């Protein structure tokens, strides 16, 4: 089954893994310490993230370190960009309504 990046980030555990490895490369064992789940479950999440090219592996001695694939994260950012303008416009409209309500109370 072919997965896409949005399926990968739909899971909260995978989003948490992404947040952790965004700070520094980590081994599956180090990542598993942050979750109340087995190392095998974390490895399955890492496999999905790897299939979607959100993380990449680097062998250092006997350990495998996972790190964030920043270019793939840009794909998510690019997709979200289309919604930022809509959100900003709506927040500005809400600010205007609140300002009007506040000035009418005085």
Residue 103 has a pLDDT of 87
Over the stretch 32-82, which tens digit does the pLDDT of each residue have? 999 998 999 999 999 999 999 999 999 999 999 999 998 888 888 888 898
Cβ-contact 17, 31 below 8 angstroms: yes
Reply yes or no on whether the pLDDT at 1 is more than 70: no
Structural domains in the chain, sorted by start: 5-105 (1.10.10.10)
Provide long-range contacts, Cβ within 8 A and 24+ apart, for 33-42.
37/13, 41/13, 42/13, 42/17
Q: What's the pTM value of the predicted model, to 2 decimals?
A: 0.75
pLDDT of residue 5: 87
């Amino acid at each position: 089954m072919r997965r896409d990046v949005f399926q990968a980030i739909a899971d909260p555990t995978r989003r948490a893994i992404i947040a952790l490895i965004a700070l520094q490369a980590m081994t599956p064992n180090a990542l598993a310490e942050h979750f109340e789940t087995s190392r095998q479950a974390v490895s399955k999440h890492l496999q999905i993230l790897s299939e979607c090219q959100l993380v990449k592996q680097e062998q250092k001695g006997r350990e495998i370190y996972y790190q964030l694939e920043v270019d793939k994260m840009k794909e998510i950012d690019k997709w979200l960009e289309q919604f930022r303008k809509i959100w900003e416009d709506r927040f500005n409209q809400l600010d205007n309504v609140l300002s009007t309500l506040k000035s009418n109370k005085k």
